[in-house]
Amino acid sequence: MRHTRLVPAAAVLAVLTLSVTACSTKSGTGSNAAGSDGLKTGPGVTDTTITLGALTDLTGPYASLGKSIVNAQQLYADQLNASGGVCGRKVRITVKDHGYDVQKAVSAFTETEPNVAALSQVIGSPVVSSLQQEIEAKHLLTFPMAWASSLLGHEHVQVVGSTYDIDMINGVDFVVRTAKLKPGAKIGHVYFEGEYGENALAGAKYAAKQHRLSIVEQKIKPTDQDLTAQVTALKQAGVKAILLSAGPKQTAALVGTAAAQGFAVPVLSNAPGFAPQLLATPVGPALEKQLHVVSAAPSFSSDTPATQQLAKDYKAKYPKDPLDSGVISGWNAINVLGEDLKAACKAKDLTREGITAAHRKQSKLTILGVSLDFSDRAKPATYQSFIQKPAKQAAGGLLTVEPAHEVPAARAYPLPKS
Amino acid sequence: MSDTLSPDASPATTAATPPDGSGGASGRRSGTASRAGTAAAGVLLLLALPFYVSSFWLQTGLFAMAAIVGAIGLNLLSGTTGQLSLGHAFFLAVGAYGYVWLAGDPSGTGSAQLYGLGLPPLLAFVLAILLAGAAGGLFSPISGRLRGMYLGIATLALVFLGHHIMLNARDITGGFNGRSVPALEIFGFSFSDTSPDGLAVLGVPFGGLERLWYFGLVLVAVAWLAARNLLRGRPGRALAAVRDSEVAAAVMGVPLSRYRASAFIVSSMYAGAAGALLALVFKRVVPDHFGLLLSIDYLAMIVIGGLGSVGGAAAGAVFVALMPHLLTKYADHLPLLSAPGTTGSGVTPGDAARYLYGAAIVLVLVFAPGGLAGLAQKRPRRTGDGTRRNRRFPFRTRTTSDSNPQGVEGTTPKEHTP
Amino acid sequence: MIKLAETILNGLALGSVYALIALGFVVIFKASGVMNFAHGSLLLFGGYVMARLHDSIGFIPAVLAGAALAAALAGLVQLLATRGLRGAEIHTLTILTIGVDVLLSTELNRRVGADFLSMGDPWGADVTQFGGITVADARIASIAVAVVVISGFFAAFRWTRWGLSMRSAAADPEAAALMGIRLDRVRLIAWCVAGALAAVAAVFLAAFPAAGLDRTTSQIALSAFPAAILGGMDSAAGALVGSLVIGLTAAMAAGYQSELSVLGSGFADVAPYLVMVLVLLVRPTGLFGSKELTRV
């Protein structure tokens, strides 16, 4: 029986030798180096490529949004590479699908993080929340596909466009103007529990105070698809308009139910509450009549040449996929990142720190007709929002009602601290 | 490796073993010794891993370790006692949030205020486990009364109630954004990337994941040994008796409700430990992770592993915890898939990973209905009445004879040579 | 008062849809002791078939086709379970349904994508008003259809040969088998019936005021879990009563959200579970579930 005692001893020896000899295999990654051309490079940047990461949802609840964003960003990367890339390097995007599962997302981050220069998209509020500390610790410039103002104030996390609360402030102003609401009037706000809905609610409450309106709150969950109870409650309360910060399904349910009950008040939704697919459903006509959308991004029917060009290129490359807000959001984010990379290249510093530094110097970047300022990380990149209206024949299902504009009250709004 | 209890076989065994154990005992010793040799080699391999593999693998391994601890706990409840629980995710959440609350320092003001006791992290870890046990104890009026599916769905309620509390008890849980997890610290040694900074062992940089790896190993070892001792001792036999026939157990003097309740409490404590470990790996806890899917995953783990056996639960946990990560990681390399961002509208790697995961569950169950533990035992011999009788009793184990100390199975041929 | 009436009507409509789903759970559980986690996917499958077919063959044939195919698929799952896993234990079959659910839902999600599929139902967005109460026609239809389908089910359960076999199989499978009842066939039919019921429920889940069938429709099946348990897992009548109670609770909690704000916002989603737990505290086998008798 002696041999059995030898086994562990032999194993110890083997392991020790192996571990000593293997020291070099796991040496520190991510060290910055300077090339012969004086260009400093960091993780994700080689002599031929710049690798970006995308943590997206292609199999979970936001699969369609994820697909549009991935497509749009790939389109941008292709165009950029066709025109020579950045610093003579091709831009490549590593896409990781987490299916809206926090654990998978965290492990996808750990896997991709050492090999990317920046993250061109991260989908999912819980995902962004769980990764925030790591992103800051690794100095990885990241573009979350969420627009809550709790994401502001981080050096390396960048929301592109106005936030939900700012959109709501601009939106309430529009509703007050067009529906001629008087002080003392009631408006309803149906919102998702969670970051998105509650951030929008904060904006709506602020705006209501400015206009001396009162808000009737109705909180719902993403799984709710029957809002009859909520509509009945709002009708009973006598609201003159309804604000909505939910998903497309809830928008259809709310507007459909309200229309069916002859409750013809204007409804204003945040951008995530609309999808062009809704216009083909039985409630399509009611949406065209009652709904407006307040959005940080232009619609495809807007006459900005850049937007028209994007719509054309996208349809050429992905003829089967719909033009939706995901395309614009994805394009916006990677476009900003592309400009950052170019600026960082000019400054001869393609390290992560260099990319973020270049990003924070962008104070007058115009993308798809919107002027963005990233110099103050605590403030939204813009205070402007578009007001749009569903229309079946319009590209992307939305017509621009009011171009990007901001109301003075928005600048005075105290952004919530995260 | 199986520690399946064999209540039917054990009385017979005790009778057949020579009282002085002269023949059987020494044969057992040789079998145990060679087994111990293999186990030692396995342990050494696990100890050496942080020197070789990347942080992705360490993190995935840590997820698996948390799953092992949780699955062992659920197995004590469902596998050994026959109580079905879908509420495991809730107790994981209690452990995770409990640790954060106990160890975290109070921070923020106003609406962003977070309470925390600021206890030493190791103490907080232990208290979090006890807290989860207490939560299980509070549920005992229900867990003591309900059986089978009723208990399953009643515990499902816990998941939803827990989610509701996590979102609403903001000053403790941080609401939907979650809360960051203070690093574990034992006598000034921190299980994080800092303090001591830049720690390197044998030239390999030791960051948070490498350090946590060893903590995880210790936790798994403690959980495993505790469960084994519990099962092999008097309580284990009593619990198995409760599972097989409550009436018979009661007649033999087993206090039914006390045992049922304590099984629930112990299982909750295991879940609490798993949750707290998970929190340490995540570095931030968010409510969305602790949903119904997590509970179902745990149920799948113990069934795929083989009910009633500690080793089986661990194998099942590794299978369920690793499989989706591995499939997602390597799905890009599968043939005939269209990569995200390309024009093809075929199956994406993410979808493929899901298909394979579903197929893997089905195949494992078809080819190893007794779970992975059953596979490891070659063809388990069925006690004559096994198949038919078990059909009528959901959630009870088939009795296998592996742990039969005499080894009459003939699995170890050297059994009777001294 | 109008609000209360509307809320109650709503709750009843919701409850009747839950009942269709819960009955399926109960039938499968009674016949084979399995908790079917793939029920949501079966529902989505039935709905998907209808949504794809109604344009070419009309609404009623599409519903029949959807129900038939969902029934066939459910039967297939049962065949896989019994043929592939002969002799396996109940919990293995339960987990098998999880595997099946992963496969089915992945494929259906991929096909449905971001679309809201119209069911082509004749009620559209029409509503009926009486005495100040507004209610969608689809809602009234769902109550009517549920009443007809469920009565039909009860009649079958009570008076047909299958019903008798089913009841005896549930009461004592071994005795039933000895008396010449083919358990496999009874189980197969039970699964098929459950599949068809789920498909019918899909029509009303996707009809107005919902936007249409989308990938999350299957999640509603989860809400029927407490309904089935509340009534008593082995009682079909219990499933009906339980569903109505759960439907009413959900509608009331949502309709009177602001009055209930003390309990935290979003309380409507946990209220059904809370009611269920309270009922189970008093009656551990649900309202109508058979008490566990132990003979020694």
Read off the pLDDT of residues A51-91 as tens digits, 9 standing for 90 and up.
999 999 888 778 888 889 999 999 999 999 999 889 889 99
Percent of chain C with pLDDT strictly greater than 70: 91
Q: What is the pLDDT of residue A319?
A: 87
- Collect contacts of B385-392 with beta carbons under 8 A, ≥24 apart: B387/C87, B388/C174, B390/C89, B390/C90, B391/C33, B391/C89, B391/C90, B391/C173, B392/C33, B392/C173, B392/C174
Both tokens assigned to C185: 């066939």
Within chain C, what is the greatest distance between any pair of CA atoms?
61
| Residue B131, number of CB atoms within 10 A of its CB | 23
Both tokens assigned to A417: 């601290």
Q: What is the pLDDT of residue A390?
A: 94
Q: What is the pLDDT of residue B67?
A: 94
What is the C-alpha separation between B306 and B300, in angstroms, rounded?
10
Q: Is the pLDDT of residue B242 over 80?
A: no
Question: CB–CB of B286 and A130 under 8 A?
Answer: yes
Contact A168, A149 (CB under 8 A): no
CA distances from C157 to B361, C148, C150, C164 (A): 34, 14, 10, 7
Low-confidence winner among B164-168, B181-185, C208-212 (lowest mean pLDDT): C208-212
Interface pTM (ipTM) of the complex? 0.83
* Maximum average pLDDT range among A388-397, B240-249, B347-356: A388-397
**Chains A & B: contacts with CB separation below 8 Å:** 154
In terms of domains, do A399 and A261 share one?
A: yes
Q: What is the pLDDT of residue B276?
A: 95
Nearest CB partner across the interface for A103, out of B52, B289, B329: B289
Q: What is the pLDDT of residue C116?
A: 82
Q: Is the pLDDT of residue B3 over 60?
A: no
Q: Does A260 touch chain C (CB under 8 A)?
A: yes
In terms of domains, do A157 and A215 share one?
A: no
Q: What is the pLDDT of residue A12?
A: 52
Q: Give the residue, B213 or B191, on which the prediction is more confident.
A: B213
Residues of chain A positioned with their CB less than 8 A from the CB of B289: 102-103, 126, 130
Q: What is the pLDDT of residue B34?
A: 76
Q: What is the pLDDT of residue B235?
A: 78
Annotate A151-163 with three-state secondary structure. Answer: HCCCCCECCCCCC
The answer to the question of residue A4 being in a domain is no
Nearest Cα neighbor of B133 from B77, B164, B95 is B95
Q: Which residue of A has its CA nearest to C124?
A: A282
Q: Is the pLDDT of residue A310 over 80?
A: yes
Q: Quote the domain boundaries for residue B61.
A: 9-416
Nearest CB partner across the interface for A283, out of C6, C14, C125: C125
- The number of folded domains in chain B is 1
Residues 250-289 of B with CB under 8 A from C: 251
In terms of domains, do A169 and A158 share one?
A: no
Nearest CA of chain B to the CA of A53: how many Å? 13
Question: CB–CB of A58 and B289 under 8 A?
Answer: no
Question: What residue has token string 């199986």?
Answer: B2
Question: CB–CB of C209 and A227 under 8 A?
Answer: yes
Question: CB–CB of C106 and B292 under 8 A?
Answer: no
Q: What are the φ and ψ backbone dihedral angles of B313, each rounded to 5 degrees?
A: -60, -40
Mutate which of B355, B391, B397 to disrupt the C interface (most C C-beta within 10 Å)?
Answer: B391
Q: What is the pLDDT of residue C262?
A: 67
DSSP for A92-116, written as a single string = EEEEEE-TT-HHHHHHHHHHHGGG-
Nearest Cα neighbor of C102 from B418, A302, B300, B181 is B300
Question: CB–CB of B365 and C285 under 8 A?
Answer: no
Q: What are the φ and ψ backbone dihedral angles of C235, each rounded to 5 degrees?
A: -125, 120
Nearest CA of chain A to the CA of B96: how many Å? 14
In terms of domains, do A159 and A171 share one?
A: no
- The number of folded domains in chain A is 2
Name the helix (H) or strand (E) containing C23.
helix C2-32
The mean pLDDT value for C165-184 works out to 80
Q: Is the pLDDT of residue B285 over 60?
A: yes
The mean pLDDT value for A152-166 works out to 91
Question: CB–CB of C114 and A193 under 8 A?
Answer: no
E strands in C16-168: 127-130, 133-136
The answer to the question of residue B202 being in a domain is yes
The answer to the question of residue A32 being in a domain is no
The answer to the question of residue B2 being in a domain is no
Q: Does A91 touch chain C (CB under 8 A)?
A: no
Q: Is the pLDDT of residue B407 over 60?
A: no
The mean pLDDT value for C199-219 works out to 84
The mean pLDDT value for C244-249 works out to 87
Query: DSSP assignment, residue A311?
Result: H
What is the C-alpha separation between B236 and B233, in angstroms, rounded?
6
Residues of chain B positioned with their CB less than 8 A from the CB of A417: 112
The answer to the question of residue A29 being in a domain is no
In terms of domains, do A279 and A220 share one?
A: yes
In terms of domains, do A270 and A401 share one?
A: yes
| CATH number of domain containing A120 | 3.40.50.2300
In terms of domains, do A309 and A290 share one?
A: no
CA distances from A134 to A169, B190, B213 (A): 32, 17, 18
What is the C-alpha separation between A125 and C140, in angstroms, rounded?
38
Residues 289-308 of B with CB under 8 A from A: 289, 293
Q: Which residue of C has its CA nearest to A191?
A: C266
Nearest Cα neighbor of C227 from C275, C260, C267 is C275
What is the C-alpha separation between A216 and A222, in angstroms, rounded?
19
Residues of chain B positioned with their CB less than 8 A from the CB of C88: 365, 369
Nearest CA of chain C to the CA of B295: how many Å? 12
* Maximum average pLDDT range among A216-230, B11-25, B213-227: B213-227
Q: How confident is the model at residue B412 (pLDDT cuts 50, 70, 90)?
A: very low
The model's pLDDT over A336-379, given as tens digits with 9 standing for 90+, comes to: 999 999 999 989 899 999 999 999 998 888 888 888 999 988 88
The answer to the question of residue A208 being in a domain is yes
Name the neighbours of C, counting chains with at least 3 Cβ pairs within 8 A: A, B
Q: What is the pLDDT of residue B414?
A: 34
* Maximum average pLDDT range among A9-18, B180-189, C125-134, C234-243: B180-189
Average confidence score pLDDT of chain A:
86
Q: Quote the domain boundaries for residue A322.
A: 40-163+302-382
In terms of domains, do A49 and A95 share one?
A: yes
The answer to the question of residue A14 being in a domain is no
What is the C-alpha separation between A345 and A361, in angstroms, rounded?
13
What is the C-alpha separation between A372 and A162, in angstroms, rounded?
9
What is the C-alpha separation between B259 and B177, in angstroms, rounded?
39
Q: How confident is the model at residue B136 (pLDDT cuts 50, 70, 90)?
A: very high
What is the C-alpha separation between B241 and A75, in angstroms, rounded?
64
Q: What is the pLDDT of residue B73?
A: 92
The answer to the question of residue A247 being in a domain is yes
Mutate which of B260, B361, B372, B396 to disrupt the C interface (most C C-beta within 10 Å)?
Answer: B361
In terms of domains, do A276 and A317 share one?
A: no
Contact B394, B84 (CB under 8 A): yes
Residues of chain A positioned with their CB less than 8 A from the CB of B328: 96-98, 104, 108
Q: Is the pLDDT of residue C282 over 90?
A: no
Both tokens assigned to A385: 């929002």
DSSP for A241-293, written as a single string = EEEEES-HHHHHHHHHHHHHTT----EEEEGGG--GGGGGSTTHHHHHHHEEE
Tally of CA atoms within 13 A in the half-sphere of B280 that contains its CB: 33
Q: Is the pLDDT of residue A199 over 50?
A: yes
Q: What is the pLDDT of residue B401?
A: 31
What is the C-alpha separation between B316 and B74, in angstroms, rounded?
12
Q: What is the pLDDT of residue A22?
A: 47
The model's pLDDT over C224-239, given as tens digits with 9 standing for 90+, comes to: 878 877 877 667 777 7
Q: Is the pLDDT of residue B308 over 80?
A: no
Q: What is the pLDDT of residue B339?
A: 64
Average confidence score pLDDT of chain B:
76
* Maximum average pLDDT range among A397-406, B46-55, C151-160: A397-406
The answer to the question of residue A218 being in a domain is yes
β-pair type (A186-192, A241-245)? parallel
The answer to the question of residue B3 being in a domain is no
DSSP for C86-108, written as a single string = TT--HHHHHHHHHHHHHHHHHHH
Q: Which residue of A has its CA nearest to C248?
A: A229
Q: What is the pLDDT of residue A21?
A: 47
Annotate C164-191 with three-state secondary structure. Answer: HHHHHHHHCHHHHHHCCCCHHHHHHHHH
Q: Does B198 touch chain A (CB under 8 A)?
A: no
The mean pLDDT value for A142-164 works out to 90
CA distances from B283 to A130, A215, B89 (A): 7, 37, 18
Contact C74, C194 (CB under 8 A): yes
Which residues, 6+ apart, have CB-to-CB distance to A393 below 8 Å?
A: none
Low-confidence winner among A114-123, A259-268, B90-99 (lowest mean pLDDT): A259-268
The mean pLDDT value for B269-283 works out to 93
* Residues belonging to chain C with any Cβ–Cβ distance to chain A shorter than 8 Å: 2-3, 6-7, 10, 14, 106, 109, 113-116, 118, 124-127, 134, 136, 205, 208-212, 214-217, 219-220, 251, 254-258, 265-266, 268-269
Question: CB–CB of C269 and A221 under 8 A?
Answer: yes
Nearest CA of chain B to the CA of C131: how many Å? 37
Q: How confident is the model at residue C84 (pLDDT cuts 50, 70, 90)?
A: low
Q: Does A282 touch chain C (CB under 8 A)?
A: yes
Q: Which amino acid is at C53?
A: L
Both tokens assigned to B302: 């113990």
What is the C-alpha separation between B401 and B4, in angstroms, rounded?
8
Q: Which residue of B has its CA nearest to A129?
A: B177
Contact C117, C218 (CB under 8 A): no
**Chains B & C: contacts with CB separation below 8 Å:** 147
Mutate which of A70, A198, A224, A226 to disrupt the C interface (most C C-beta within 10 Å)?
Answer: A226
Question: What residue has token string 């007649």?
Answer: B251
Q: Which residue of A has its CA nearest to C114?
A: A64
Both tokens assigned to B36: 């111990």
The answer to the question of residue A249 being in a domain is yes
Question: CB–CB of B147 and C110 under 8 A?
Answer: no
Q: Is the pLDDT of residue C49 over 80?
A: yes
In terms of domains, do A333 and A203 share one?
A: no
In terms of domains, do A93 and A110 share one?
A: yes
The mean pLDDT value for B153-159 works out to 86
Which residues, 6+ apart, have CB-to-CB distance to C42 below 8 Å?
A: C24, C36, C70, C73, C74, C104, C194, C195, C198, C199
Nearest CA of chain C to the CA of B109: how many Å? 21
Residues of chain B positioned with their CB less than 8 A from the CB of C106: 351, 354-355, 358
Q: Inter-axis angle of helices B208-232 and B234-244, to 10 degrees?
A: 70
The mean pLDDT value for A393-418 works out to 85
The answer to the question of residue B255 being in a domain is yes
E strands in A15-140: 33-34, 40-41, 49-56, 90-97, 118-122
Q: What is the pLDDT of residue C293?
A: 57
Q: Which residue of A has its CA nearest to B39?
A: A8
Nearest Cα neighbor of A78 from B336, B342, B346 is B342
Q: Is the pLDDT of residue B158 over 70?
A: yes
DSSP for B194-263, written as a single string = TTTTT-EETTEE--HHHHHHHHHHHHHHHHHHHHHHHHHSHHHHHHHHHHH-HHHHHHTT--HHHHHHHH
In terms of domains, do A202 and A71 share one?
A: no
Nearest CA of chain C to the CA of A237: how many Å? 11
Q: Does A232 touch chain C (CB under 8 A)?
A: yes
Percent of chain C with pLDDT strictly greater than 90: 15
Which residues, 6+ apart, have CB-to-CB distance to A102 below 8 Å?
A: A124, A126, A127, A130, B282, B286, B288, B289
Low-confidence winner among B40-44, B135-139, B372-376 (lowest mean pLDDT): B372-376
Contact B82, B395 (CB under 8 A): yes
Nearest CA of chain A to the CA of C169: how many Å? 37
What is the C-alpha separation between C189 and C5, in angstroms, rounded?
39
